[in-house]
């Protein structure tokens, strides 16, 4: 199929909208480099738009009314948004669901050590990464350290120009003859991904008459002293910390024509942002609109903050209860009657690696919102396979609103593939299809997207939610 034109057809008003959206998008990427930071940013945004926290709403009591705006936060790492529609929940919701976790390196529980005058923090990478991409680039450290008394120290080091950054070393080319013989998966081993955090020893001047005190690991001691002085963190506090190492620096416009965005964490924050943006544009909706922004997708959607947890279902039960109609059957009906766009990225066709793709079923960067009827690989294994009837319904909505879209698969049939949260939601019996933005060099420290795709996808989400606001 011929790809539809995008850039050529935009009016000057649309081009302006596109630039505003993409500027906001870059800010979103810069301010939310971890799932916790994303949740903070989102809570600030939705509270300004009049959203009320579920706990607060439950305290207020009274029946749920149309037009109410509610949000629920899951352990500071996931968030659900609801715009209550005219119809009862039992009739189903229009759901957008994206994930806000991204591949990175997590700091281990006992991370700090010194070797030959260099201090390191030991890491365990999170999600699918090509490990060799993460060495010798400036890295920043984000996250929380929760102390025994319950206080939380929030860290974000390496983003301001005056901040220090961290890095993983790589062997110099002059001595790399053996390393370069290794397979790419083994060039940098997981245990070699430790970040360098110091090289200066702590010197303690001896008091008069006392002998000079020698630290066993003076460089490590210096790091610990800095952590204590600057953040009031002790070495044991790493035990109750969640610290993530991500590429330092801001998302940038890319290309002479500034047509693309290059930045960290676009899988899947590009879909999280566009979903959220579309969601907040919608004011009055017939069917209740729901936006799910969830954690742990990159490691299989497991755990209390992943899509497979009961959090989403529990919140729906609370809302049905607020409607005054609680029964298990009503909750099940609400879920089964829902429609969902699983807002997740797709792999953009890469001409430099053409052999990995089947071109006529590949997502082209700059050719619009991407729908994946199915993900999975090698015989569609593990895939949510969206229903033809539902796809026809979605096609009509998109065509009516003149959204430019394409249908794609993730790479060649036998070459691997990827999953999303679609199949987890599909188990409720609801119609779900993957829909999002094509990403070039997905899961690399810096990923690329097309500004036009960001814009079209946002428009597609708006159309899906009920054509509100546009
Ligand atoms: Zn991913």
Please indicate, yes or no, whether residues 361 and 215 belong to a single structural domain of this protein.
no
Q: Is residue 202 included in any domain, yes or no?
A: yes
**Domain total in the chain:** 2
Determine the Cα–Cα distance for residues 340 and 70; give it in Å rounded to an integer: 19
Q: Is residue 345 included in any domain, yes or no?
A: yes
Going by DSSP bridges, is the β-strand pair 78-83/93-99 parallel, antiparallel, or unpaired? Answer: unpaired
Q: Is residue 168 included in any domain, yes or no?
A: yes
Question: Rounded to two decimals, what is the model's pTM?
Answer: 0.95
Q: What pLDDT is recorded for position 416?
A: 64
Question: 334 C-alpha to center of ligand 1: Å?
Answer: 29
Please indicate, yes or no, whether residues 97 and 108 belong to a single structural domain of this protein.
no
Of 220, 247, 274, at which residue does a domain stop? 247
**Is the pLDDT assigned to residue 284 strictly greater than 50?**
yes
Helix (H) or strand (E) holding 228: helix 218-231
DSSP 290-308: EEEEES-GGGTS-STTSTT
Closest CA to 133 of 443, 454, 436, 459: 443
Query: Interior CA angle at 214 toward 208 and 219, to 5°?
Result: 125
* Strands in 21-103 per DSSP E: 52-53, 69-74, 78-83, 93-99
Q: What is the CATH number of the domain that holds 436?
A: 3.40.630.10
Please indicate, yes or no, whether residues 269 and 237 belong to a single structural domain of this protein.
no
Q: What pLDDT is recorded for position 379?
A: 72
Question: 50 C-alpha to center of ligand 1: Å?
Answer: 31
Provide the β-strand partners of residue 118.
Answer: 115
Going by DSSP bridges, is the β-strand pair 241-247/139-146 parallel, antiparallel, or unpaired? Answer: antiparallel
Please indicate, yes or no, whether residues 347 and 406 belong to a single structural domain of this protein.
yes
User: Which structural domain range is residue 404 located in?
Assistant: 7-102+264-465
DSSP 109-152: EEEEEEETTEEEEEEEEESS--GGGGSSS-EEEEEEEE-TTS-E
Here the tokens at position 184 are: 């790419």
Cβ(356)–Cβ(411) below 8 Å: yes
Question: 3 C-alpha to center of ligand 1: Å?
Answer: 25
Determine the Cα–Cα distance for residues 292 and 335; give it in Å rounded to an integer: 13
Q: What is the CATH number of the domain that holds 208?
A: 2.30.250.10
Determine the Cα–Cα distance for residues 65 and 449; give it in Å rounded to an integer: 39
Question: 99 C-alpha to center of ligand 1: Å?
Answer: 9
Q: Per-residue pLDDT tens for 55-94?
A: 999 999 999 999 999 999 999 999 999 999 999 999 999 9
Question: 250 C-alpha to center of ligand 1: Å?
Answer: 20
Closest CA to 169 of 139, 187, 193: 193
Question: 437 C-alpha to center of ligand 1: Å?
Answer: 12
Cβ(318)–Cβ(311) below 8 Å: no
Q: Is residue 151 included in any domain, yes or no?
A: yes
* Strands in 270-385 per DSSP E: 288-294, 339-342, 346-347, 369-372
Instruction: Name the CA radius of gyration of the chain, rounded.
Output: 24
Please indicate, yes or no, whether residues 127 and 222 belong to a single structural domain of this protein.
yes
Cβ(152)–Cβ(144) below 8 Å: yes
Question: 158 C-alpha to center of ligand 1: Å?
Answer: 24
Please indicate, yes or no, whether residues 337 and 275 belong to a single structural domain of this protein.
yes
**Is the pLDDT assigned to residue 419 strictly greater than 80?**
no
Question: 267 C-alpha to center of ligand 1: Å?
Answer: 5
Please indicate, yes or no, whether residues 436 and 287 belong to a single structural domain of this protein.
yes
Determine the Cα–Cα distance for residues 200 and 221; give it in Å rounded to an integer: 9
Closest CA to 15 of 465, 23, 435: 23
Per the rule left: phi > 0, alpha: psi between -120 and 50, beta: everything else, 441 is: left
Question: 439 C-alpha to center of ligand 1: Å?
Answer: 10
**Is the pLDDT assigned to residue 11 strictly greater than 50?**
yes
Question: 278 C-alpha to center of ligand 1: Å?
Answer: 22
Question: 268 C-alpha to center of ligand 1: Å?
Answer: 6
Q: Is residue 283 included in any domain, yes or no?
A: yes
Cβ(405)–Cβ(368) below 8 Å: yes
Please indicate, yes or no, whether residues 271 and 332 belong to a single structural domain of this protein.
yes
Question: 263 C-alpha to center of ligand 1: Å?
Answer: 14
Model confidence band, residue 469 (pLDDT cutoffs 50, 70, 90): very low
SS3 96: strand
Cβ(142)–Cβ(242) below 8 Å: no
Closest CA to 351 of 338, 361, 364: 364
Q: What pLDDT is recorded for position 470?
A: 41
Question: 315 C-alpha to center of ligand 1: Å?
Answer: 26
Q: Is residue 386 included in any domain, yes or no?
A: yes
Please indicate, yes or no, whether residues 370 and 268 belong to a single structural domain of this protein.
yes
Q: Is residue 148 included in any domain, yes or no?
A: yes
Residue 393: C-alpha distances to residues 47, 333, 400 (Å): 33, 20, 11
C-alpha 420: how far from its chain's center? 12
**Is the pLDDT assigned to residue 339 strictly greater than 90?**
yes
Question: 257 C-alpha to center of ligand 1: Å?
Answer: 27
**Buried b or exposed e, range 459-470, using 16+ CB within 10 angstroms:** bbbbbbbbebee
Question: 346 C-alpha to center of ligand 1: Å?
Answer: 9
φ/ψ of 193, rounded to 5, equals -85, 55
C-beta atoms surrounding 254 within 10 Å? 18
Of 221, 247, 273, at which residue does a domain stop? 247
In the chain, % of residues over pLDDT 70: 97
Question: 426 C-alpha to center of ligand 1: Å?
Answer: 19
Please indicate, yes or no, whether residues 243 and 320 belong to a single structural domain of this protein.
no
Closest CA to 263 of 273, 10, 459, 410: 273
Q: Per-residue pLDDT tens for 161-205?
A: 999 999 999 999 999 999 999 999 999 999 999 999 999 999 887
Of 200, 220, 247, at which residue does a domain stop? 247
SS3 311: helix
Question: 119 C-alpha to center of ligand 1: Å?
Answer: 31
- Residues composing the chain: 470
Please indicate, yes or no, whether residues 199 and 282 belong to a single structural domain of this protein.
no
**Is the pLDDT assigned to residue 371 strictly greater than 60?**
yes
Please indicate, yes or no, whether residues 300 and 446 belong to a single structural domain of this protein.
yes
Question: 344 C-alpha to center of ligand 1: Å?
Answer: 8
Q: Is residue 253 included in any domain, yes or no?
A: no
Question: 280 C-alpha to center of ligand 1: Å?
Answer: 25
Determine the Cα–Cα distance for residues 298 and 296; give it in Å rounded to an integer: 5
Q: What pLDDT is recorded for position 1?
A: 62
């Amino acid at each position: 199929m011929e790809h539809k034109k995008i850039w050529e057809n935009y009016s000057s008003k649309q081009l302006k909208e596109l630039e505003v959206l993409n500027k906001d998008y870059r800010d979103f990427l810069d301010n939310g480099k971890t799932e916790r930071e994303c949740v903070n940013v989102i809570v600030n945004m939705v509270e300004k738009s009049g959203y009320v926290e579920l706990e607060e709403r439950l305290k207020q009591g009274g029946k749920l009314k149309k037009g109410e705006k509610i949000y629920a936060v899951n352990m500071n790492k996931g968030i659900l948004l609801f715009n209550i529609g005219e119809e009862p929940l039992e009739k189903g919701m229009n759901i957008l669901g994206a994930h806000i976790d991204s591949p990175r390196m997590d700091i281990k529980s006992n991370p700090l050590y010194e070797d030959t005058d260099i201090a390191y923090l030991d890491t365990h990478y999170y999600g699918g990464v090509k490990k060799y991409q993460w060495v010798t680039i400036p890295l920043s450290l984000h996250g929380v350290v929760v102390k025994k008394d319950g206080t939380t120290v929030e860290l974000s080091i390496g983003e301001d120009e005056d901040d220090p950054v961290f890095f993983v070393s790589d062997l110099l080319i002059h001595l790399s003859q053996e390393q370069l013989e290794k397979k790419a998966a083994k060039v940098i081993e997981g245990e070699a991904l430790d970040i360098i955090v110091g090289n200066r020893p702590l010197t303690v001047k001896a008091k008069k008459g006392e002998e000079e005190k020698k630290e066993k690991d003076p460089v490590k001691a210096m790091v610990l002293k800095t952590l204590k002085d600057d953040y009031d963190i002790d070495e044991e506090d790493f035990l109750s910390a969640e610290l993530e190492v991500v590429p330092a620096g801001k998302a940038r416009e890319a290309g002479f024509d500034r047509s693309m965005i290059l930045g960290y964490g676009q899988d899947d924050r590009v879909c999280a942002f566009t979903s959220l943006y579309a969601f907040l544009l919608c004011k009055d909706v017939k069917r209740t609109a729901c936006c799910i922004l969830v954690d742990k997708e990159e490691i299989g959607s497991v755990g209390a903050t992943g899509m497979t947890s009961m959090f989403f279902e529990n919140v729906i039960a609370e809302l049905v209860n607020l409607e005054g109609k609680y029964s298990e059957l009503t909750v099940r009906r609400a879920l089964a009657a829902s429609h969902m766009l699983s807002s997740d990225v797709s792999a953009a066709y890469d001409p430099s690696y053409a052999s990995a793709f089947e071109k006529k079923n590949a997502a082209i960067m700059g050719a619009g919102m991407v729908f994946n009827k199915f993900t999975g690989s090698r015989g569609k294994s593990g895939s949510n396979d969206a229903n033809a009837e539902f796809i026809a319904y979605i096609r009509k909505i998109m065509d009516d609103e003149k959204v430019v879209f394409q249908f794609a698969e993730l790479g060649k049939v036998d070459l691997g593939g990827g999953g999303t949260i679609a199949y987890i939601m599909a188990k409720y019996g609801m119609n779900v299809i993957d829909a999002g933005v094509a990403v070039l060099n997905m899961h690399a420290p810096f990923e690329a997207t097309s500004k036009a795709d960001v814009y079209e996808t946002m428009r597609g989400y708006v159309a899906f939610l009920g054509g509100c606001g546009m």
